[in-house]
Amino acid sequence: MNAPQQGLIGQSVRRREDARFLTGRGQYTDDIVLPRQTFAYFLRSPYAHARIKSINTAAAKAASGVLDVYTGEHFRSIGGLPCGWLINSLDGSPMKEPKHPILADGKVRYVGDQLALVVAESYAEAKAAAQLIEVDYEDLSPVVDAAAAKGAPASVHDEAPDNVCYTWGCGDKAATDAVFASAPHITKLEFRNNRLIPNAIEPRAANASYNPGDESWTLYVANQNPHVERLLMCAFVLGIPEHKVRVVAPDVGGGFGSKIFLYAEETALTWASKQLGRPIKWTAERSESFLSDAHGRDHATVAELATDRDGHFLAMRVHTTANLGAYLSTFASSVPTILYATLLAGQYTTPKIYAEVTGVFTNTAPVDAYRGAGRPEATYVVERLVETAAHELGLDPAEIRRRNFIHSFPYATPVGLTYDTGDYDATLNGVIELADVAGYPARKAVSEAKGLKRGIGYSTYIEACGLAPSNIAGALGARAGLFEAGEVRVHPTGKVTIFTGSHSHGQGHETTFAQVVADKLGIPIDDVDIQHGDTGKVLFGMGTYGSRSLSVGGTAIVKAVDKVIAKGKKIAAHLLEAADTDIEFENGVFKVAGTDKSVPFASVSLTAYVPHNYPLDKLEPGLNENAFYDPTNFTYPAGSYVCEVEVDPATGQVRVDRFSAVDDFGNIVNPMIVEGQVQGGIAQGIGQALLEHGIYDVESGQLLTGSYMDYAMPRADDLPSFQIRTAKGTPCTHNPLGVKGCGEAGAIGSPPAVINAICNAIGVKDVPMPATPHAVWQAIQASR
Partner 1 sequence: MSQKTTLKVNGKTVTREIAPDRLLVQFLREDLALTGTHVGCDTSQCGACTVHVNGRAVKSCNVLAVQLNGAEITTIEGLAAANGELHPMQAAFKECHGLQCGFCTPGMVMSAVDLVQHHGCGSEAQIREGLEGNFCRCTGYQNIVRAVQLGAQGMK
Burial 457-483 (b: 16+ CB within 10 A, else e): bbbbbbbbbbbbbbebbeebbbebbbb
CA distances from 270 to 73, 207, 273 (A): 17, 8, 5
* Binding track, positions 739-778, relative to partner 1; x by CB under 8 A: -------x--------------------------------
Alpha helices, DSSP H, located in 95-212 = 123-130, 146-149, 173-181
What are the backbone angles phi and psi of residue 748, rounded to the nearest 5°? -80, -45
* Residue 713 sits in the site that holds partner 1 (CB under 8 A): yes
d(CA 264, CA 102): 5
Q: Cβ of residue 10: shortest distance to partner 1, in angstroms?
A: 16
| Eight-state DSSP code of residue 689 | I
CA 496/CA 177 separation, integer angstroms: 58
What DSSP string runs through 423-447? Answer: -HHHHHHHHHHHTTGGGHHHHHHHH
- For the four alpha carbons of 399, 403, 404 and 406, in that order, the dihedral sign comes to positive
- Beta carbon nearer to partner 1, 58 or 708: 708
Binds partner 1 by CB under 8 A, chosen from 202, 229, 534, 644:
202
Q: Which stretch binds partner 1 (CB under 8 A): 213-221, 285-293, 388-396, 692-700?
A: 285-293
Nearer to partner 1 by Cβ, of 336 and 741: the residue is 741
Cα of first residue to Cα of last residue in the chain, in angstroms, is 65
Among 96, 109, 505, 548, binds partner 1 (CB under 8 A): 505
657 binds partner 1 per the rule CB under 8 A: no
Smallest gap from Cβ 755 to partner 1, in A, equals 19
The answer for residues whose C-beta is within 8 angstroms of residue 654's C-beta and 6 or more apart is 645, 646, 647, 690, 758, 771, 773, 776
Q: Does 223 bind partner 1 (CB under 8 A)?
A: no
Q: How many residues make contact with partner 1 (CB under 8 A)?
A: 57
Please identify, using beta-carbon distances, which residue of 232 and 683 lies nearer to partner 1: 683
For partner 1, what does the binding mask look like between residues 666 and 685, x meaning CB under 8 A?
Answer: ------xx-xx--xxxxxx-
Rg (Cα) of the chain, in Å, rounded? 27
C-beta closer to partner 1: residue 534 or 625: 534
5 burial (CB, 10 Å; 0-12 / 13-18 / 19+) is buried
Least distance CB 250 / partner 1 (angstroms): 12
Residue 251 found at the interface with partner 1 (CB under 8 A)? yes
Q: Using CB under 8 A, which residues numbered 5 to 44 contact partner 1?
A: 14-15, 17-28, 30-31, 33
Query: For partner 1, which is the closer residue by CB, 258 or 267?
Result: 258
Q: Which of residues 96-155 bind partner 1 (CB under 8 A)?
A: none
Choose the stretch contacting partner 1; rule: CB under 8 A; options: 189-197, 362-370, 504-512, 528-536.
504-512
- 407 contacts partner 1 (rule: CB under 8 A): no
User: H-helix or E-strand containing 555?
Assistant: helix 555-576
Q: Report the nearest approach of partner 1 to the CB of residue 706 (Å).
A: 10
| Ranges of H-type helices in 7-111 | 18-22, 58-61
Q: Is 715 in the site for partner 1 (CB under 8 A)?
A: yes
CB of residue 708 vs partner 1: minimum separation in angstroms? 4
CA 132 to chain centre: 39
By C-alpha distance, which of 283, 261, 281 is closest to 269? 281
Per-residue x/- track, 252-271, partner 1 (CB under 8 A): xxx-x---------------
Do residues 700 and 777 touch, judged by C-beta distance below 8 A?
Answer: no
When asked if residue 433 is in the footprint of partner 1 (CB under 8 A), the reply is no
Interface residue with partner 1, options 449, 721, 782, 784 (CB under 8 A): 721
Instruction: Let me know: does 714 contact 683? Beta carbons within 8 Å.
Output: yes
Phi, psi of 753 (to 5 degrees): -60, -40
Binding site for partner 1 (CB under 8 A): 14-15, 17-28, 30-31, 33, 199-203, 251-254, 256, 283, 285-287, 505-508, 672-673, 675-676, 679-684, 707-709, 713-717, 719, 721-722, 746
